[in-house]
Amino acid sequence: MKIISYNLNGLRAASKLNVLNWLKNENADILCLQEVRAEQSICEKILKDFNEYNIVYNCGKIKGYSGTITLSKIKPIKVVFGFGNEEDIEGRTITTFFSDFVVVNCYVPNGSKRLEYKKEFIRNLTVYVNSLLKSFKKIFICCDANIAHTELDVNKPKETSKKSGFLLEERVLINRLLENNFIDSFRELNPELIQYTWRSYRARKEKNDFGWRFRFDYIICSKNLKDRIKRCYSQDLEYSDHLPVILEVT
């Protein structure tokens, strides 16, 4: 099985750069898209040719803001928006349930202006995914966490340590998410590899080390999947300021 998690920073903009061709060619079993930033009717038109997928939209109620979409070749047996206990106005989380595994597609808020909201969101996510383990033992969390976990995951740790995205208090929350029941699939398979998944558009175009670069994007797995994850990587694409995370599972 191949799973892709990708923050597109706008489905319309990315589609104009031919991201749809790339997504088609990858032929993933599951696609988790974040920050689609378009109403469902618009997203449906853009993805009209993805007939081989079951598509779940959570575009939220704020026009042109946030939003998530999950595409799967297997039809989910159940779908939940948000964390199941309140309305997901910003369209940040989709959980798709299958017969023997669960996929949580999640777009964590940026903390530059809403740090406390971001921290509370991650705490709620942690409680939620651990509650899912009581019934479903195999869980994939595909997310733009808007947090670089360790110094390996940011190119300028000293400069960014006082800014949201690499604050110690944010990184502690990622530790808590991972500490008992989950693993960061990329870091599990690549303990020392430096690979960033976010850079500014200017940095993307310049081949030097301009600006900050972070590994913000993850596919986190329940620990019982540790022996089944075989490859996790990103491709250097130009459809977004983010790069996709691609996980191959046996």
State pLDDT tens for residues 51-78.
999 999 999 999 999 999 999 999 999 9
Per DSSP, the three-state class of 163 is: coil
pLDDT tens digits, one per residue of 120-176: 999 999 999 999 999 988 999 999 999 999 999 999 999 999 999 999 999 999 999
pLDDT at 200 over 90: no
pTM score of the predicted model: 0.96
φ, ψ at 99 (rounded to 5°): -60, -35
b/e per residue 12-29 (b: at least 16 CB within 10 A): eebbeeebbebbeeeebe
- Residue 56's pLDDT is 98
Give residue limits of the domains in the chain.
2-249
**Alpha-carbon separation of residue 136 from 2, 106, 124 (angstroms):** 20, 18, 18
Active site residues: 144
Query: Topology of domain 2-249, per CATH?
Result: Deoxyribonuclease I; Chain A (3.60.10)
CA–CA separation, 100 vs 228, rounded Å? 14
> Under 8 Å CB-to-CB from 233, ≥6 apart: which residues?
186, 190, 195, 245, 246
Confidence of residue 209 (pLDDT cuts 50, 70, 90): low
CA–CA separation, 189 vs 187, rounded Å? 5
pLDDT at 189 over 70: yes
pLDDT tens digits, one per residue of 216-242: 999 999 999 999 999 999 999 999 999
> Under 8 Å CB-to-CB from 162, ≥6 apart: which residues?
none
